[in-house]
């Protein structure tokens, strides 16, 4: 217990998987928690779990509350209340209930859900004067919330000053020397050493924007692994377990990541009902809650290319059109791929590893450019090295590769684009022949690789000396007199050719 009265240090409202585990994590770190959920069995389940997991700890460290009024009365002031409810209307529903129950001006409400960042900005404004609406997106799923998530707080700095000690305590930790996560999943024994994966991101909305981009990268990262699985299984005829073994090996090298590790594990899992590989018994239609879509939409609004993230969203959309896919499966012709020698097969595994690495760098480059452009638009001062640091442990996209991003931004704080960083420019330049070979092999064998190939097009678009936008400008001028700039004049100076008349060139004021 951190305060010296009998009051709780923090309240948690919403005891689904994430809220319950955050409450247990906070309590493990010595804070006294008051908890409430509209579904009262969840309150009892939390209190029972806390007792059963660590009977040696203070049995009163988690207080189950019957209603929001009791929760408010049980908290030390100014109160800190964590919301773990679905994004959207439920957040405002709980805020309304808190106001009705007497929440005060200095009290802090922290939205930990995946809320749309613009909603967060609007909420901070609309609740001003009633209480402080703060936000802190959480990444890491069930286990992260329980034993150490990555936390992306933003909003009123006064609220952060109060919340920071708790957040640093419950966040995932990174070993200061190795840059690797410190993982200890033991109830009642929190990780107290290492660098916490949380940092104040910026003003209201910034944290949710950064989390949204994290999820956009997550979508692309997952899809890249899925495309590698598709190439290895359909292209090389590998069994799920064999692909799992390849992924387990990749997870030890340049492609080390939590997502690669879990994919290796998933592919080794047998279906308890049929004993076939479980993955082959799962219907190939992907779900989504919307954060990847928001990232793609944001990129379109900003004019900030994030094709690999957008392709990952489309790949999920295509997968859901199962009936249409079945019809077209019988109608559209593909190819009959030629046989590959054992040497060619082994070589493909290696070139695919490099291709995935290159495409992954492009996903992150897209995500970081999105954050940079939105920060410039919103007037946020984002610290990209710090953001990459807090993604090194706890969150879903954690990977050793993030350390290279940290170094890139530490070397050059003003780095405009990740592909300009020496490390990434050199690595991608060296590996691009393999990347091209992986894409062409997949294409020639009729295997869709939208993320691996769109990332390559992204790379080639940025490195190309010229793009065919000159012809595009001429087309626009031809049918709509939209004018064009010339390579031998000031780019601000516009010209129009009289395409339907005497084809004379006019300078347009
Ligand atoms: C995380 C995850 C988490 C959640 C996503 C999944 O960082 O912990 O991103 O937020 O798993 O909402 O999103 P989809 O359901 O859209 O795949």
Residue 477: other Cβ atoms inside 10 A: 18
Distance 212 CA to ligand 1 centre (A): 9
Q: What is the mean pLDDT of residues 402-429?
A: 97
Which residue owns the Cα nearest ligand 1 atom 17?
Answer: 288
CA-to-CA distance for 292 and 220, rounded, in angstroms?
Answer: 9
In the numeric block, which tokens belong to residue 39? Answer: 């579904």
What pLDDT score does 2 carry? 60
What pLDDT score does 3 carry? 61
Half-sphere exposure of 253 (CA within 13 A, CB side): 11
Percent of the chain with pLDDT over 90: 95
In the numeric block, which tokens belong to residue 365? Answer: 């480059």
Question: In this structure, are residues 34 and 98 in contact, taking their beta carbons and an 8 Å threshold?
Answer: no
Listed residue (318, 421, 322, 428) closest to 368, CA to CA: 421
Question: In this structure, are residues 10 and 26 in contact, taking their beta carbons and an 8 Å threshold?
Answer: yes
pLDDT tens digits, one per residue of 221-268: 999 999 999 999 999 999 999 999 999 999 999 999 999 999 999 999
Active-site residue list: 211, 218
How confident is residue 56, by pLDDT bands cut at 50, 70 and 90?
confident
How confident is residue 338, by pLDDT bands cut at 50, 70 and 90?
confident
Domains along the chain with CATH numbers: 10-204 (3.40.50.720), 208-463 (1.10.1040.10), 469-508 (1.20.5.320)
Q: Provide residues with CB under 6 Å of ligand 1.
A: 114, 139-141, 215, 218, 287-289, 291-292, 395-396
Which residue owns the Cα nearest ligand 1 atom 4?
Answer: 141
What pLDDT score does 336 carry? 85
Q: Which of 16, 87, 215, 297 to mutate to test the pocket of ligand 1 (most atoms within 8 A of CB)?
A: 215
pLDDT tens digits, one per residue of 57-94: 888 899 999 999 999 999 999 999 999 999 999 999 99
CA-to-CA distance for 96 and 94, rounded, in angstroms?
Answer: 5
The rounded Cα 447 to chain-centroid distance in angstroms is 26
Which residue owns the Cα nearest ligand 1 atom 2?
Answer: 139
Q: What is the mean pLDDT of residues 160-183?
A: 95
Question: In this structure, are residues 195 and 179 in contact, taking their beta carbons and an 8 Å threshold?
Answer: no
Percent of the chain with pLDDT over 70: 99
Which residue owns the Cα nearest ligand 1 atom 10?
Answer: 139
What pLDDT score does 249 carry? 98
Which residue owns the Cα nearest ligand 1 atom 14?
Answer: 288
Confidence check: pLDDT of 1 > 60: no
Distance 211 CA to ligand 1 centre (A): 10
Distance 218 CA to ligand 1 centre (A): 8
In the numeric block, which tokens belong to residue 337? Answer: 């791929």
Long-range contacts of 482-491 (CB under 8 A, 24+ apart): 483/508
Confidence check: pLDDT of 331 > 80: yes
The three-class DSSP label of residue 191 is coil
Q: Which of 18, 218, 399 to mutate to test the pocket of ligand 1 (most atoms within 8 A of CB)?
A: 218
pLDDT tens digits, one per residue of 20-39: 999 999 999 999 999 999 99
Q: Check residue 76 and report its DSSP letter.
A: P
Of ligand 1's atoms, which has the minimum distance to the CA of residue 215? 9
Distance 136 CA to ligand 1 centre (A): 15
Distance 213 CA to ligand 1 centre (A): 11
Q: What is the mean pLDDT of the chain?
A: 96
Pairing verdict, β 195-196 and 505-508 = unpaired
| Kind and range of the H or E run holding 181 | strand 181-182
CA-to-CA distance for 392 and 173, rounded, in angstroms?
Answer: 9
Of ligand 1's atoms, which has the minimum distance to the CA of residue 222? 17
Q: Check residue 332 and report its DSSP letter.
A: S
Query: Using only C-alpha atoms, what is the Rg of the chain?
Result: 26
What pLDDT score does 245 carry? 98
Q: Which of 111, 113, 114, 395 to mutate to test the pocket of ligand 1 (most atoms within 8 A of CB)?
A: 114
The values of phi and psi at residue 170, to 5°, are -85, -15
In the numeric block, which tokens belong to residue 415? Answer: 């780095």
Which residue owns the Cα nearest ligand 1 atom 1?
Answer: 139
Confidence check: pLDDT of 405 > 90: yes
What pLDDT score does 6 carry? 86
Distance 483 CA to ligand 1 centre (A): 45
Residue 350: other Cβ atoms inside 10 A: 11
CA-to-CA distance for 444 and 127, rounded, in angstroms?
Answer: 57
Find all residues with CB under 8 Å of 363, minimum gap 6, and list them: 217, 220, 221, 224, 308, 309, 451, 455
Find all residues with CB under 8 Å of 175, minimum gap 6, and list them: 181, 182, 194, 195
How confident is residue 4, by pLDDT bands cut at 50, 70 and 90?
low
């Amino acid at each position: 217990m951190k305060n010296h009265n009998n009051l709780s240090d923090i309240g948690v409202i919403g005891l689904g998987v994430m809220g319950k585990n955050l409450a247990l994590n906070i309590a493990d770190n010595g804070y006294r928690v008051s908890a409430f959920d509209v579904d009262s069995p969840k309150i009892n389940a939390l209190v029972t779990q806390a007792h059963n997991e660590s009977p040696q700890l203070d049995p009163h460290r988690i207080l189950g509350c019957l209603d929001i009024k009791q929760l408010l009365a049980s908290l030390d002031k100014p109160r800190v209340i964590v919301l773990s409810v679905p994004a959207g209307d439920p957040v405002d529903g709980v805020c309304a209930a808190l106001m009705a129950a007497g929440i005060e001006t200095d009290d802090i409400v922290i939205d930990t859900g995946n809320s749309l960042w613009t909603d967060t900005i609007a909420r901070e404004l609309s609740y001003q004067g009633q209480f402080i609406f703060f936000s802190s997106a959480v990444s890491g799923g069930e286990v992260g919330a329980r034993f150490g998530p990555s936390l992306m707080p933003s909003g009123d700095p006064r609220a952060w000053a109060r919340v920071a000690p708790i957040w640093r305590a419950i966040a995932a930790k990174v070993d200061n020397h190795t840059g690797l996560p410190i993982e200890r999943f033991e109830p009642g024994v929190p990780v107290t050493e290492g660098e916490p994966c949380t940092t104040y991101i910026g003003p209201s909305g910034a944290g949710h924007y950064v989390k949204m981009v994290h999820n956009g990268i997550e979508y692309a990262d997952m899809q890249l692994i899925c495309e590698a699985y598709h190439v290895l299984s359909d292209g090389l005829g590998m069994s799920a377990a064999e692909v799992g073994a390849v992924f387990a090996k990749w997870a030890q090298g340049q492609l080390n990541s939590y997502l690669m590790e879990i994919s290796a594990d998933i592919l080794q899992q047998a279906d308890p009902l049929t004993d076939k590989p479980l993955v082959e018994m799962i219907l190939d239609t992907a779900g989504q809650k919307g954060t990847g879509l928001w990232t793609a939409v944001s990129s379109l609004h900003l004019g900030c290319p994030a094709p690999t993230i957008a392709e990952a969203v489309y790949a999920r959309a295509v997968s859901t059109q199962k009936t249409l896919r079945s019809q077209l499966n019988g109608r559209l012709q593909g190819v009959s791929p030629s046989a590959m020698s054992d040497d060619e097969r082994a070589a493909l595994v290696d070139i695919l590893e490099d291709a995935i690495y290159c495409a992954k760098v492009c996903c992150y480059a897209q995500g970081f450019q999105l954050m940079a452009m939105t920060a410039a638009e919103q007037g946020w001062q984002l610290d990209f090295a710090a953001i990459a640091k807090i993604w090194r442990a706890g969150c879903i996209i954690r990977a050793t590769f993030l350390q290279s991003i940290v170094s890139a931004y530490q070397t050059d704080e003003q780095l405009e684009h990740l592909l300009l960083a020496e490390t990434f420019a050199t690595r991608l330049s060296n590996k691009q022949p393999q990347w091209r070979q992986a894409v062409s092999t997949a294409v020639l064998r009729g295997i869709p690789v939208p993320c691996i190939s769109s990332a390559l097009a992204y790379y080639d678009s940025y490195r190309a000396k010229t793009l065919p936008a000159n012809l595009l400008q001429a087309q626009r001028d031809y049918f709509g007199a939209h004018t064009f700039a010339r390579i031998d004049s000031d780019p601000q100076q516009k010209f129009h050719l009289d395409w339907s008349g005497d084809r004379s060139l006019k300078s347009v004021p």
